[in-house]
Amino acid sequence: MNIGPAWEEHADVVVIGTGVGGLAAALAAHRAGRRVVVLSKAARKPGATATHYAQGGIAVVLPDTDDSVDAHVADTLAAGAGLCDVDAVTSIVADGYRAVSELVSDGAQFDESAAGGWALSREGGHSRRRIVHAGGDATGAEVQRALDLAAATLDIRIKHAALRLLHDTTSGTDAITGVLVADRRGIGIVHAPSVILATGGLGQLYGATTNPKGSTGDGIALALWAGAAVSDIEFIQFHPTMLYDGRAGRRRPLVTEAIRGEGAILVDSQGNSVTAGVHPMGDLAPRDVVAGAIDARLRALGDECVFLDARGIDDFGRRFPTVAAACQAAGIDPVRQPIPVAPGAHYSCGGVITDVCGRTELPGLFAAGEVARTGMHGANRLASNSLLEGLVVGGRAGRAAAEHAGLFGRTHATATVPADCGALGRDDLQRAMSRDASVVRDADGLHRLVDILSDAPAGLVTTRAGLEDAALTIAARAVATAALAREESRGCHHRAEYPSAATAPARSLIVRLADDCSPQVDELAAVS
Ligand SMILES: Cc1cc2nc3c(=O)[nH]c(=O)nc-3n(C[C@H](O)[C@H](O)[C@H](O)COP(=O)(O)OP(=O)(O)OC[C@H]3O[C@@H](n4cnc5c(N)ncnc54)[C@H](O)[C@@H]3O)c2cc1C
């Protein structure tokens, strides 16, 4: 449907998202001298981004320590289970200290040790203490505060939902020409030669998630609808320890694994260790291993939660104030009683395929942060590597988008609102995904899920709510189709019928949409 837009504007670079990926990108493009417009579908309030909720910290190799880029790369590759892109990991890890230092120049303050210098903690899968943090377990809030402050003079439009990417279908280049946006005035266009997707994750595919309400996979959908491919999308990390308060359908507080790093232990309702004999790193094993062990124990005992016993940690309230506050709100005293916890959808390891500068296959389209798939995380993300990736690749994407805008100049897009690919209501979708595509999947469940999702009725996307339902539905179809095609267990993807990794060389899968909207799966390439 062609529409007469209610409003039109021009920019060099449009950034969609105001979390770590979006604001790092926006600042870099602005500092490169470009006219930047930043869109956020949310209102301006704490907690509108996943970034705000990050607890553990940022994994970064500090100079002149016993740590090294090689050691951090090795830990990342081990977690990624054969699907990381080694060059991408090395490039991003090696740039971490510079990017975090830039954030400090922008005003971020990280916790310091008694001896001076940043205090470093250790998290699951890391062989060294290399996690910088702020406010104890409130790192994300500090990162968001510093970025918000640095970006205060930028042109940030809240309550502006990006509905579609507009691109040039006539010249054969598919070059990006702008974004179709819904705000209180109606549907408008921001014309721009460079667009950066920084829309975050897709945890809202599931009823139990640590992600905020707006983590609905919009960037995945926008890219797929525009013809770009996504990869590793079946790898959704379930955080093993969300606070369990018995209430369904809300964002659930995360109980950071830094607490296990400080000695807390996971026990079941009988008081037995959950991870004993499962992995040499025990409770500090990679997240998929711990989530899988908890899931298995819950099924075996018919329980809804296990317990994290943190009673041995001194000064819990000061060291983990965010968790302490969440526990208090749920009526739990972690100093006196074990904390009830259960796994929940937490992080999308895959996303829109980009290089390490955020470039996608469509000229003028960039992606950074959780929406992107750089090859950093492979089949499973190492804890605290995502803020790192968001900062590093966000900054690079901003500079690359600024450069692209310089080459291509002013664009003029036509506003069309094509029919979406079908939308299921969020409650129904979350129920189906939680049942059929959660911690452990099988073919019967995934086939049932694919059928349910492909029957969702199509319509026109003209509002934020409509966009979110349509985005969740197409993202879910991509996840289900890739999960069905991956007949093995690898990283954070577990198939009941295939409990081990396949012996064939590890391959990333890519998904793109056919003309009838059906997701088509292919292999990305062999990973050495
Ligand atoms: C509870 C929790 C704890 C975590 N702890 C850590 C940690 O300790 N260390 C770590 O490295 N990582 C951690 N993570 C992961 C990390 O926080 C996220 O991966 C990262 O912050 C994502 O940043 P982002 O910029 O990609 O997206 P977000 O911060 O989620 O921002 C997304 C933005 O996109 C906007 N948006 C989305 N769709 C649209 C649209 N259609 N139109 C306009 N705007 C749109 C949203 O409004 C928002 O502004 C944690 C995540 C959670 C949820």
The predicted model gives 196-205 an average pLDDT of 98
pLDDT at 526: 47
pLDDT at 527: 42
The predicted model gives 408-435 an average pLDDT of 83
134-168, pLDDT tens digit by residue?
998 899 999 999 999 999 999 999 999 999 999 88
pLDDT at 390: 98
pLDDT at 168: 81
Beta carbons within 10 angstroms of residue 312's beta carbon: 10
pLDDT at 419: 67
> What is the spatial distance between Cα 227 and Cα 173, in angstroms, rounded to a whole number?
12
> What is the spatial distance between Cα 367 and Cα 355, in angstroms, rounded to a whole number?
9
CA of 181 to the centre of ligand 1 (A): 20
The DSSP symbol for 283 reads G
pTM of the model: 0.94
Beta carbons within 10 angstroms of residue 304's beta carbon: 11
Phi then psi dihedrals of residue 291, to 5 deg = -65, -40
Residue type, 378: G
> What is the spatial distance between Cα 479 and Cα 276, in angstroms, rounded to a whole number?
31
> What is the spatial distance between Cα 408 and Cα 387, in angstroms, rounded to a whole number?
31
Task: For residue 295, give every residue at least 6 positions away whose Cβ sits within 8 Å of its Cβ, in sequence order, or none.
Answer: 238, 343, 439, 440
Residue nearest to ligand 1 atom 41, measured at CA:
162
> What is the spatial distance between Cα 13 and Cα 154, in angstroms, rounded to a whole number?
12
Beta carbons within 10 angstroms of residue 425's beta carbon: 12
CA of 311 to the centre of ligand 1 (A): 31
Phi then psi dihedrals of residue 369, to 5 deg = 90, -155
Residue nearest to ligand 1 atom 31, measured at CA:
19
* 168-173: long-range pairs with CB below 8 Å, 24+: 168/411, 173/363
250-261, pLDDT tens digit by residue?
678 889 888 998
pLDDT at 90: 98
496 contacts 441 by C-beta, under 8 angstroms: yes
CA of 76 to the centre of ligand 1 (A): 20
pLDDT at 417: 64
The three-class DSSP label of residue 28 is helix
The three-class DSSP label of residue 507 is strand
* 462-468: long-range pairs with CB below 8 Å, 24+: 462/163, 462/182, 462/187, 462/417, 463/161, 463/182, 464/41, 464/161, 464/182, 466/420, 466/423, 467/41, 467/161, 467/163, 467/182, 467/218, 467/221, 468/204, 468/214, 468/216, 468/218, 468/426
> What is the spatial distance between Cα 501 and Cα 484, in angstroms, rounded to a whole number?
14
User: Does residue 207 carry a pLDDT above 70?
Assistant: yes
Mean pLDDT of the chain: 93
Phi then psi dihedrals of residue 167, to 5 deg = -145, 160
CA of 428 to the centre of ligand 1 (A): 24
pLDDT at 200: 98
| Catalytic machinery residues | 287
Alpha-carbon dihedral of residues 459, 461, 465, 469, nearest 10 degrees?
A: 60
Residues with CB under 6 A from ligand 1: 16-22, 39-42, 48-51, 53-58, 139-140, 161-162, 198-201, 210-211, 214-215, 218, 254, 347, 369-371, 384-387, 390, 467
Pairwise pLDDT comparison (410 vs 20), residue with the higher score: 20
Which numbered atom of ligand 1 lies nearest the CA of 51?
A: 21
Q: Which of 91-105, 112-126, 388-402, 510-524 has the lowest mean pLDDT?
A: 112-126
In order of 88, 223, 343, 462, the CA distances from 277 in angstroms are 34, 43, 20, 52
The fraction of the chain above a pLDDT of 90, given in percent, is 81
Residue type, 458: A
Which of 19, 405, 16 has its CA nearest to residue 179? 16
CA of 198 to the centre of ligand 1 (A): 8
The three-class DSSP label of residue 371 is helix
User: Does residue 330 carry a pLDDT above 80?
Assistant: yes
From 184, 210, 386, 389, give the residue whose CB has the most ligand 1 atoms within 8 Å, as the site to mutate: 386
Q: Find the radius of gyration of the CA atoms of the chain.
A: 22
309-323, pLDDT tens digit by residue?
999 999 999 999 989
From 14, 15, 18, give the residue whose CB has the most ligand 1 atoms within 8 Å, as the site to mutate: 18
Q: Is 115 exposed, middle or buried (0-12, 13-18, 19+ CB in 10 A)?
A: exposed
In order of 17, 23, 235, 334, 342, the CA distances from 37 in angstroms are 10, 11, 32, 44, 40
pLDDT at 299: 84
391-419, pLDDT tens digit by residue?
999 999 999 999 999 988 777 777 666 66
The predicted model gives 51-72 an average pLDDT of 95
> What is the spatial distance between Cα 342 and Cα 31, in angstroms, rounded to a whole number?
43
> What is the spatial distance between Cα 230 and Cα 478, in angstroms, rounded to a whole number?
8
Q: Which of 144-158, 213-227, 232-246, 354-368 has the lowest mean pLDDT?
A: 232-246
pLDDT at 525: 66
Residue nearest to ligand 1 atom 27, measured at CA:
200
> What is the spatial distance between Cα 293 and Cα 291, in angstroms, rounded to a whole number?
5
> What is the spatial distance between Cα 23 and Cα 162, in angstroms, rounded to a whole number?
16
The predicted model gives 467-493 an average pLDDT of 97
119-142, pLDDT tens digit by residue?
999 887 899 999 999 998 899 999
CA of 216 to the centre of ligand 1 (A): 11
| The pairing of beta strand 161-167 with beta strand 236-243 | unpaired
pLDDT category at 421 given cuts 50, 70, 90 is confident
The predicted model gives 472-481 an average pLDDT of 98
From 14, 15, 53, give the residue whose CB has the most ligand 1 atoms within 8 Å, as the site to mutate: 53
What secondary structure does DSSP assign to 35-66, as a single string? -EEEE-SS-SSTTSSSGGG--S-EE-PPTTSS
Beta carbons within 10 angstroms of residue 480's beta carbon: 29
| The pairing of beta strand 365-367 with beta strand 131-132 | unpaired
